[in-house]
Structure 1
């Protein structure tokens, strides 16, 4: 090998050495933070859609229940139609939440412990709802009339939902879920004092505003998160180029 050949190979080796150099500590930290924000963005990217869907479901669904007798005798929605609209909207909201929740976790490895927690939490929703239905049936057998049942069932389900939101926030350390849960519990406790059918209107406005407000807040948070991620990626790339 000649000196000319050796000299020609040296720059290539020099470039390889620079490419293989590890990132500086501050760049590694920035990269880790960027990856964490990317995962948070993936998992939380569907939160606004879920919250807005539930907001519309509560606002329109409970609003229809209120319109059964709320504007009588000038106007009223048939009982069967109001219940059908409410059930369809809630079913759509549950379906959207389930579908987007599964999609948001694709590509993210979960431990057996977190999978167990998620499965138990999901089953608890069904157990709680069935328990409320059974408890309500027992109250009806013991003399609960139709007007009181109209207050008990929606209030019980909303109260249970609020508690579950708080539990979810505690499990996954999601402060917005805790706030939404506390707000939902408060509405569930206050609404019955307005009596039938006004309590439906309180649940519609209070619950709907809570979900819609959280959905808007989630959109703002995600935009801020994505802006930080883009800024960190640009800074890391610039630092790597300057080192090269």
Structure 2
């Protein structure tokens, strides 16, 4: 399979497994990832998702050769853009924490996957860039729309216009990458971080993610109001009561997500 799906406790792993093609994404791969995310979104047992790749690339973007050979859709059928939009909408709006472990090159659609995740871990050998302009391709997974929200505007324009890539260390200085790790330590660090997040209240994390995702599109007053409304609902939850009991009893809380 070109995408490997695995569950480790409360953590769902999606691994791009097409190393001979730099994990470039085919339609089947995109549909597989979207379906897995939708299933895990509705599965309370899955609390965190990790995306990574095999080989020297995380993902070099869409498989342009496969796209050029695709037959035109019949009336009423989804075309490739519909499939891409569905995947990225599902990923960006996923209510649980998503960690991306960038094991190598992340270009074009691969960079757009990175932009859609919550926490970015990267191997020292990784390089990240937009690359669409190198082949006259226009981004469709949020590249031009999201990159200026994640890094300084002039850095975003440089990456978009030149098609060049930057090192993981450089992207960390610009705020896109959270941690840069030796290549051999990347997977273990992603696993440890995912397990740490899986032990938190899934309800708290979902509510934090919802407020944070919308904060930049609101005034400060509206963002704070949103936070207070979420807090009002959260005060009625099992998880806050369990957390307070655990604190008083000096034990580890056992959250249930409601």
TM over 0.5: no
Q: Which is richer in strand? A: 2
Q: Which is richer in helix? A: 1
Tell me which of the two structures has the higher relative contact order, counting C-alpha pairs closer than 8 angstroms and 6 or more residues apart. Answer: 1
Tell me the TM-score normalised to structure 1 length.
0.26
Tell me the TM-score normalised to structure 2 length.
0.25
